[in-house]
Amino acid sequence: MAKKMAKRDFKIGVVGLGRMGANIARHLKDDGFKVTAVYDMASGLATKVGKELGTQACKNLSDVTAAANVVITVVTDDKGTLGLFGASGDSLLKDAKGTTFINCATISPATHVEIEKRAAKAGASTLEGCMASSITQAREGTLYLMCGGKKSVFDKVLPVLNSMSVNLRHIGSTGKAAQVKALVNMVMNINTAGLAEGLGLGKALGLDLKTLMDVFSQTGANARVLETDGEDMVIRDHECYFSAAHAAKDSGIALKLAQENGLNLPLARATKAQYDRMKRLGLGELDKSGIAELTFPGRKGSKKAAKKKAKK
């Protein structure tokens, strides 16, 4: 039986230093792990975070692998993530034997499976670390983390996973955690869109929205997004924790899975159309709560506002 690795044995690299990746790196550093390398396509960001953490800001992906035995990747989409694991050119897979890659971004299940195959050829291993939380939880190490991949790989990096999360689940084989995450975000996005419509209609009817939200919270209209997004929708505070553009992408992943399995999901399709509309209106980098800009009377994306603009 292989000896369990202690905290001091891990050398961690982080690739993708956006809202989530940078805060994961900060937390692991604070928790006593050795963060030995960071990388981002925006080299200035890598330099800034590297200086903050007192660690190497790498210019090449291969330098991250050379400096680490566990590499956490948080890169937004399938294309970008696959690009990290190229068979030639600069790649995380160069001299990667023995390295474990934990891929945390919300990407297609098939992409996780493909990366696992590529890594295995290089003598490396992979794990899905799908996150169902946001920036604050990444910084505090309180993520809800759903993992997919070989149980032996999960067990090997368990100290790192435990540091990152307060709720940790091994879902199953590679691709399964990404399937669950796609469904989580699909349902969350539907709930967010529904709440925006309910509050928008309440506003149009002249109802007191504080009272309306209180009634929602005590009835079948209650949902987690009421707590996270309700007030933000009313006061138009759309500071980004999970962007509308990401919501559109993730609903798209779920819809592709539905299509592959012969299912029609009209609510998911309608929700994705709303988030796609936000992108077209230049609102894609607002938080997902910004979908209220499409439903509250008089706001930029509301039907009434659009008609008024058209008459001018």
All structural domains of the chain: 8-174 (3.40.50.720), 179-301 (1.10.1040.10)
What's the pLDDT at 201?
A: 98
For residue 128, which amino acid is it?
E
Quick one: CA dihedral 191, 195, 198, 204, positive or negative?
negative
Quick check: 20 pLDDT over 50?
yes
pLDDT band at 58 (very low <50, low <70, confident <90, very high): very high
- Residue count (the chain): 312
Name the pTM for this structure.
0.90
| 65, 94, 133, 219, 240 from 285: Cα distances, Å | 31, 34, 18, 32, 7
Q: What are phi and psi of 280, to 5 degrees?
A: -65, -30
pLDDT digits (tens, 9 = 90+) for 146-172: 999 999 999 999 999 999 999 999 999
Q: Are 292 and 233 in contact (CB under 8 A)?
A: yes
85 Cβ contact list (under 8 Å, min separation 6): 91, 92, 93, 101, 115, 118, 119
- In order of 78, 179, 269, 275, the CA distances from 111 in angstroms are 6, 11, 22, 23
Per-residue pLDDT at 304: 52
Residue 271 pLDDT greater than 80, yes or no: yes
Q: What's the rounded Cα separation, in Å, for the pair 25 and 296?
A: 38
SS3 172: strand
